[in-house]
Each structure stands twice: as structure tokens, then as C-alpha cells.
Structure 1
Amino acid sequence: MVAISHFRQALFLLAVNIAAVSLATAPPVLANTSAGANDPAPETPEPAPVTHAVTPQDGGGAQVSVETETASDHTEPKAAAANPLSARVVMSQFVDMPVVGDADSTLRYAGRADAYIDIAGSAWGLDDSFTLTVRPEYTWGKDSNGTIGLIPNNTALFRGETAGDFDVSVSVSKQWQSGAKLTVGKVNVLDLGGQLPVVGSDGHHGFQNLGFALPPSAIIPNTITGALLSVPTEDALFRLWVFDPDSQYERTGFETGFESGVGFLSSVTVPVKIGGKPGYYALKLSGSTRDDISSSNLPAALIPPAASGFGNTKGEFAAVLAAYQFLDVYPEAPGKGWGFFAQAYASLGDPTFLDKSGFVGISGNPRRRTQDRFGAGYFRYSLTDGLVDALNTRLGLEDEEGVELFYTLGIADRYELTANVQIIDSVVTARDTGVLVGLRLTTGF
């Protein structure tokens, strides 16, 4: 086991070295801009402002246009670049401690590092409308997930109960002149969640609770293998995903491909300006053909016994309505502003373990310190009634709700220090309401 751990660390350090070499040879990138220096200028409607500062816009590499929940993906593939290798590394360190509730008041330290490596098609025999993306990730330390609530309070450190600390995702993308983009392979969904307007949280930036950063649907796992298509038009952005509904964390995707069925997501996002401020409103439909509970996303205590009857229904389906509306943008600081976000989710239940949820909040940049960022939000998640009934002899369960507040101080172009407070009324009825406080230090290069 020690040898395996050292091998994983060596792989991640290799990715970091590749990133360092790329950064040493790449053209300079301006910090605190709304896109990477090599990203193309999007056509109207304008893209959503970016509200964190440590790195260029999430997913922005020298060869890949940013894909956000907007209709502004109408960009052309890039011409051959002088440097076909684009790489960056983002690292966050966390300390937190429960200060109210049943959980032990233990100070915990942990961290996460992600490398984002994009290799243009010209480097491997194709044109630069193709991109090979390699995404190693590595975590360490002891996290506080599960000490207070069911929904993980630290998205960056969320793993299954038996999962390890290292994973790598590899995918190939093709972008057409129309702006349509197809990605095939293994994809970390958290990267896409970090590109959402206003809320824009990816574990390293913004909200830490999974309820905001990567709202759980119990249908779409955090790491997927499949095909992801986005088609921008002048009026809307359309998406269609087809994927293996089992989590692909620490898997290649080929071991037991699609043995649990086939999952899908389809969505349409429409840009709307209110009072001259950009907003984005989305309808998302997801489902799968699986006929069992998604056990990799639940702690063992919440897996119902086989004889309970829950999890035997074939097929699942859910719908989401989401809104991301800017209330102010700052002409003197392009890409900065603040606004509100909201989402409502409902599923058909069994075998999906969540039946409804919702959240609302605000997030953005203070006008006098646009390098900083703030956020406040409320969420509520409900377990499917059939699952609650199946577990009622084991433990009492109810809806889980919580509040998160954070403020990020932009120390320098490459550093952010975030203070975070979460107040959580756990899904477990026997637990008292808990309060968790913490700090996050993030750097990117």
C-alpha cells in the first residue's frame, strides 16, 4: 500500500512538472481577467462575469474555449498555437473545526491539488479543433465530511467512503466552427460546475458545501465516462450528455462499462437581461435506466437492506429549474459583479435517493475590492420517502437544511484566503444542529 501511495504521488508530481514547464514556455497570461489570455473573444450575448481571481476562467486553456451555463459558447476553434501545451495547477489547503453540535471539536487539516493539462491536436497529429485533456487530482489529510450533515460540507475533499486520494480523468474534445463542442472520455463534473455564473464554485473557489458547489441529483455522479455535447445558438445553449451512471472515480470507465445502465442529461439555458444586467435561466432533465440505488454516493449507514424493497424500481428521472441573475456588474472592473442564484429539483424517487431539493443565495465581488468575493446561501435536501421508511428501524431521518457564508480575501494575484461558516441541521434526527468554521488558502500557477 505504501508503494501504491508513492506511485500516485509521483504521478501527480509529474503532472505538476508538466504544468511548470508549460508555464515557463507559454505566452504570459494576465491575472484577474474574465478569460485566459489565449481564449477567443466571445460573440454576443456577453459571457457571465467571472467572480474569482486566482486563475484564468475555469477550464480556460490555450486551446479550449470556456463552456459555461450561457449561450455565449458561440466561438470558433483556435488556429494552431505557438505553444500547443497548456497547463495550470490549483492547490487549496483547508483547516476547519465543528464548534457547535454533537461532532467532536477537532481541528482538521487537509488539502487538494488539481492539474489541468490541455494538449492541442497539432501536437498529436490532428488539427487544433481537437484537444486532449488530462486532469489529475490529489487529496491529503483528514476532512470533516460526514461529521455534521449528509451533504458533504467540503466539496473539494468529497470521496466515497472506501475511495483513495488520487484520480485522473482523460478526455478528447472536438470543437466546430459553429461553436458546437463534443467531449468524449472521463470527465470531472466538478470542473463544469465551477463555470456556472454567479455561484461559480469548484471546491477551490466560492462555496464549499456540495449542496451549492455541485448540487447532488443522486443520478449524475461527480466523475463520469461518456459523451458530452454542447450546441450554442444565438438564443440558447443546448446540452446533451450520455454517460455511465456509476461513479468513475479511480476507474478507467472500461472495467464494468454501463453495467448499471445508461444515464443522460439534456438542458437548455437561455440568456435574459433584466435592467441591462445579464441573467441565465436553465431547464435540465436527467435520468438513467439503472434499477438500483447509487450506493457509491451514500455512506454505508444509509444503504437500505436488500429485503427493504427500495432500489428495485427500474429507471429514474429528475428535473431542475435554475436561475443565475446578475444584479450589478462593474464597468470599471470587467468580469466582476454580484447577483443571486436559485435552483429547484424534483425526482420520481425510487431508486433515486433524493426526491426534492432547493437552494437560493447571493454571491459576487464587493465593488471597492473586486479581487475579493463573498457568498451566502440556504439549501434544503429531502431523502426519498421510500428510503426513509426502509431505514426507520435503523435511524430516524428528516430533511437536511443548512446555511453557508463565506468571504474570500484576494491577497495577491495568485493567492486567496477564504473564511467559511456553515450551519447545518443534519438529516439524522438524533443529531443537534451543528456549526462548522474553517479557512481555505488557495493558490494557482
Structure 2
Amino acid sequence: MRKLYFGLLAAVAVGLTHTSRGAAQNPIAAPAPPAALPEGAPPAAAQPPAIPTQPVSPGAFDALQGITGCAPAEPPAPPTPPPFGGPLLERQKFLGDWGGARERLRERGITFDIYSTNVLGDVANGGSRESLQQRGRIDYLMHVDGEKAGLWKGAFIDLHAEMAYGTAISGYTGALEPASIAQILPTPNGYVGALTGVKFTQALSERLITFVGKINTAEAFNQPFTGGALGIDGFLNGGLTIPAVLVRTIPYSTYGAGFAYLKGADPVFSFSIFDANNTPTRDGFDTFFDNGVVFVPQINVPTKFFGLPGHQGITGSYSTKRYGIIDRTAFINPILGLAAPTKSGSWALTYNFDQTLYAAPDNPKRSWGTFGNLGLADQNPSPFRWFANIGFGGSSPIASRKLDTFGVGYYYLGLNNALQNLAPRVLPFRDHEQGVELFYNCAVTRWCHITPDVQFVIPAQKRADALTVFGLRAKIDF
């Protein structure tokens, strides 16, 4: 208990100190908070708010997430965005309005967001080795409304830069799914800076949009009630944020292009093409589409079961790249010390859903509901044959805690025989991995959020015991 108690205190302190230092060292500025988007901008053009409320994004993989909020034919007048300034404990951002600069920039179509997320992880028992580790990240985002900025109507530009520091706890668990996906992106260890997203979007009509650029695909996967695939607002474990069968084929940060056909604010059909190379920490021009291409089609149908919003969808992926079954993927803990033959082509198919179960009568954006994914992939070179998860989450049911969120979820990961038989004496695997996670995201203020988290996992590696991981996440929105 003493170890965990001091760990909780340390996480808050480290979050504050690292954030200040990191922001000073990296001059890149960026983010566009959804609450502060200029009129006419797609509502999902930036990261989800620090405390997510009623989700507006589709429940499937959507590399178009940052651009799929095109307005309907006769949209209602948009609400006035909240001010950046105000009393310290009531403002949206810790640094406020920057002396009025933020508000003036927003009027000209440019919005910024900067937030720091620090995660303290403790393998309390089991796993490969008991350990207490801290790793943090700073995300910089910028959103430009082209029309307001003096370009042309329907044009949008989004940039995403990030820094990471410290050591991820996932290397001590013996699991393939990372205990904290926020800690392993863009890389799992060491101090690193990366420009992971530079996206240009053009709305061709009220129902058809296109995009091109360097795409941050984790930012794009924002399934309702999960908190998003970056692991900075909701679930920490990768098994509850993105279907594992997709991670063999889909890079974290890569060049791509695509389009989406919209119904209201939802992309009912989208198609994306990506470079198969993962290039988060370099420009990638030297390997531009030199090792295959990835195709990602998606069908996403909005629903109204029980009179409440939801989605039913199917996502597919196919890559022409040549893979080994243990090749590194950005979203899964690395498998080291083995060599494997390579094979061209890999595919995956997933079914996904989300469904609101409760919405507050006085504020429909305060809601909670359920989500799930069921996936299948090839037997080789994908290391995973089956994947499933299911969970509940959303706004806190405690009436007095309107900015808090919660989540509880379960995942199951079935391994392919090709991986189990690769080197059973050197690195023996079970035929599956499974885990449960619970978290409660507490809003200390609108710009500061503390999230205690606990996970119970049966890892894929046989040499690692069933484990308990305690986590504490501190996020500050600047």
C-alpha cells in the first residue's frame, strides 16, 4: 500500500514538472479543442475533449475521424464556443486565453491545443517482473479552417506533433496488448519527438469529403465510450481501444488518402489507402510506398435503438506488404529475440458497434453506453486469429460529478498457431490472452484530470503469470 500511495502522489508531481519542462523544450504549437472549433469546422477535427461526453464519432476504424463532421444541408446555428479565459479553476485551459491571443486566432480560423499526459504503472504482482514505471507524453495540435484563414471554403488543415519520455510499464507484463497504449506511442521507450499527423481535408459537397497527408491513425480511431485509441482520456489497455486484428496491417503514422460519404455527421461509407510503412519519427519520403499499400474500406450505419444513438459497422483492411509473423507493430508490445520467414499480404475484418443506453434528460451529451468489437484475421503473417472486446463507459452516473467519466471492459485475443509454433521452447505462448480493466476519470478542474485504473490480465507469454496492474494517469490541458 505504501508503494502505491507514494506512486499516486508521484504521478501528479511528475505530470506537472514534466509538462512544464517539455513544453518549454519543444516550440511546436498545435491543438484545436473540439469545444473551441470555429463555426463550420468539422466537430471531430481535433482531439476529443479531456473529459468526453456524448460521442460524436463513428464506432469503427475511421482514418477520416478528423474530417467527418461535415454539417447537414440546413444546420442549426452553432453554439457560441466557450471562452478560453476566466477564473483559474473554471477556465477550459490551464493557460487561459494567452492574453487574448487564442480568441483572436480562433476568429481567424486557427485553434491550438496542448496537453500533457503522464501515466504511472505498477505491476503489483505477476507478469514478467514486478515494477513501477512512469512514462509521459505531450501532444501539440493545430487546426486551421481554410475559409476563415483566407484560403477557400471547405478546406481544413490539421497538424499533430508529440513528445514522449520515461519508460513504459508494458515491457514488464508479459502481455501482447500494452497495459498503457499512451505510453508506447509513438515509441515505447526513451525520449522522442515526432510529427505524426499533417492532414489536408477538402469538403467537395455537404456529403462528400476527401483527405490526404500524413495520418495519425490512432487519433482517428475514436470509438464511443472508450475514450479513444491514444489512451489519454478513457481506457489505458490497448485491448479496449483498438481491435488487435487490425494492427498488423495499419501503421500508426503514415501517408494516406481517402474519401467519405456522409449522412449528417456520420461517414456511412469511407475508403482509405495508406503507405504500409510506419514513419512516426521521420519524414518517410525515402520509403514512400516502397513496401506495399494498405486498403481500408468501412461501412458505418447510424442507429436509433431505444430512441438513443448508436452505430453498427464493418471495417476491413488488406495490405500488400511482406511481413514476418513477429514483425514490430506500433500498437502491440514487441516480441524480441526471434526470427521468422516472411509472407506477402495480410488481411483483417472486424464488426463493431456502440449504443447509448442512457442520456440525461437535461443534457443528452451526458450519457453512457456500451461498445464492442469482433475481429478475424489471416493465419499468417498476422500473429492474431481472433479478437473480441466489450465494455461500458461514458459520463459518470454520479449526478454531482458531471465532468467525470468511467469505464469497465473485457478483451480476448486469440493467437495464431503459426506464432505459438514458431519457437515454443524459446518463447512459449498460450493460445490466448485476456484481460479486464476498470477506470474512473475524475475532473479535478476542467483542465486537470486524474484517472485511477486497475487491470487484471492473463498474458500471452507462458513464462509470465497472471498479473494485476495499477495505474494512475494525470492529464493537464494547456
Q: Does 1:38 align with 2:38?
A: yes
Distance 1:285 1:405 in 2: 29
Whichever residue aligns with residue 38 of structure 2, its letter is N
Compute the displacement of 1:381 (Å).
1.1
Distance 2:69 2:109 in 1: 24
Q: 1:252 aligns with which of 254, 261, 283?
A: 283
Compute the displacement of 1:316 (Å).
1.6
The total of aligned residue pairs comes to: 410
Once the two structures are superposed, residues 69-128 of structure 1 have per-residue CA deviations (whole angstroms, 9 ceiling, x without a partner) of 999644479999731321111211221211111444332222111011123335886314
Distance 1:366 1:303 in 2: 44
Q: Is the 8 A contact 1:130 1:174 kept in 2?
A: yes
Once the two structures are superposed, residues 46-88 of structure 1 have per-residue CA deviations (whole angstroms, 9 ceiling, x without a partner) of x9xx99654899999xxxxx96599964447999973132111
Distance 2:460 2:372 in 1: 21
Secondary structure at 1:101's aligned position in 2?
A: strand
Q: Does 1:192 align with 2:210?
A: no
Q: Is the 8 A contact 2:303 2:311 kept in 1?
A: yes
Q: Which runs of 4+ in 1 moved over 4 A?
A: 8-12, 39-43, 50-60, 66-81, 122-125, 159-164
| 5+ long unaligned stretches in structure 1 | 1-7, 24-28, 61-65
Q: 1:326 aligns with which of 349, 352, 356?
A: 356
Q: Is the 8 A contact 1:71 1:269 kept in 2?
A: no
Once the two structures are superposed, residues 122-176 of structure 1 have per-residue CA deviations (whole angstroms, 9 ceiling, x without a partner) of 5886314222222110111122012111111111111446785211022211123
2:377 paired residue number: 347
2:313 paired residue number: 282
Secondary structure at 2:27's aligned position in 1?
A: helix
1:268 paired residue number: 299
Q: Is the 8 A contact 1:70 1:270 kept in 2?
A: no
1:54–1:375 Cα change, 3 Å: closer
Cα RMSD between the aligned structures? 3.5
Q: 2:339 aligns with which of 305, 315, 320?
A: 305
Where relative contact order (Cα < 8 A, 6+ residues apart) is larger, the structure is: 2
| Structure 1 stretch displaced more, 290-299 or 345-354 | 290-299
Q: 1:338 aligns with which of 365, 368, 375?
A: 368
Distance 2:66 2:371 in 1: 12
Q: Does 1:109 align with 2:140?
A: no
What's the TM-score once normalised by structure 2's chain length? Answer: 0.77
| 5+ long unaligned stretches in structure 2 | 1-20, 58-62, 79-104
Compute the displacement of 1:303 (Å).
6.7
1:63 paired residue number: none
2:254 paired residue number: 224
Distance 1:337 1:35 in 2: 17
Distance 2:352 2:441 in 1: 25
1:113–1:59 Cα change, 3 Å: farther
Q: Equivalent pairs: percent with the same residue?
A: 24
1:384–1:432 Cα change, 3 Å: same
Distance 2:423 2:391 in 1: 32
2:271 paired residue number: 240
Compute the displacement of 1:191 (Å).
1.2
2:28 paired residue number: 15
Secondary structure at 1:87's aligned position in 2?
A: strand
Whichever residue aligns with residue 432 of structure 1, its letter is D
1:232–1:136 Cα change, 3 Å: same
Once the two structures are superposed, residues 33-53 of structure 1 have per-residue CA deviations (whole angstroms, 9 ceiling, x without a partner) of x8445354999xxx9xx9965
Compute the displacement of 1:247 (Å).
1.2
